[in-house]
């Protein structure tokens, strides 16, 4: 992240809560699953080059919350691939949220 404070606030809105831990100054970690986390760190040289993809049990619920708080995203539908919400953070990093096919009942 080029500006940690701005990025942190954006991720709080995106994820709906404050970070779970702060390992060092200008670092934040959100635990999203037992084996999965999002790590946000100030690093101006790498800012904008990230790609994160996360599977959700209930993508519709996350979409509704994000619309309610005004987070901008696009929606990708690609034939047989799961529906995907695509976000760009304040540095241009790409985040993709998709419906976990194992949880969709299909």
CATH architecture of 4-103: Roll (3.10)
Burial of 48-86, coded b for 16+ CB within 10 Å and e otherwise, reads eebeeebbbeebeebbeebeeeebebeeeeeeeebebbe
Q: Residue 36 belongs to what H/E stretch?
A: strand 36-41
Residue range 14-71, pLDDT digits in tens: 999 999 999 999 999 999 877 788 889 988 877 888 888 888 888 999 999 999 999 9
Domain boundaries, given as residue ranges, for the chain: 4-103
* More reliable by pLDDT, 30 or 80: 30
């Amino acid at each position: 992240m080029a500006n940690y404070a701005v990025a942190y606030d954006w991720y709080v809105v995106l994820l709906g809560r404050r970070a779970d831990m702060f390992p060092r100054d200008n670092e934040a970690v959100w635990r999203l699953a037992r084996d999965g986390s999002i790590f946000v760190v100030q690093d101006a040289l790498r800012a904008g080059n990230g790609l994160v993809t996360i599977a959700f049990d209930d993508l519709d619920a996350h979409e509704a919350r994000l619309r309610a708080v005004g987070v901008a995203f696009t929606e990708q539908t690609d034939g047989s691939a799961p529906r995907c919400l695509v976000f760009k953070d304040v540095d241009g990093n790409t985040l993709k949220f998709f419906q976990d096919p194992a949880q969709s009942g299909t």
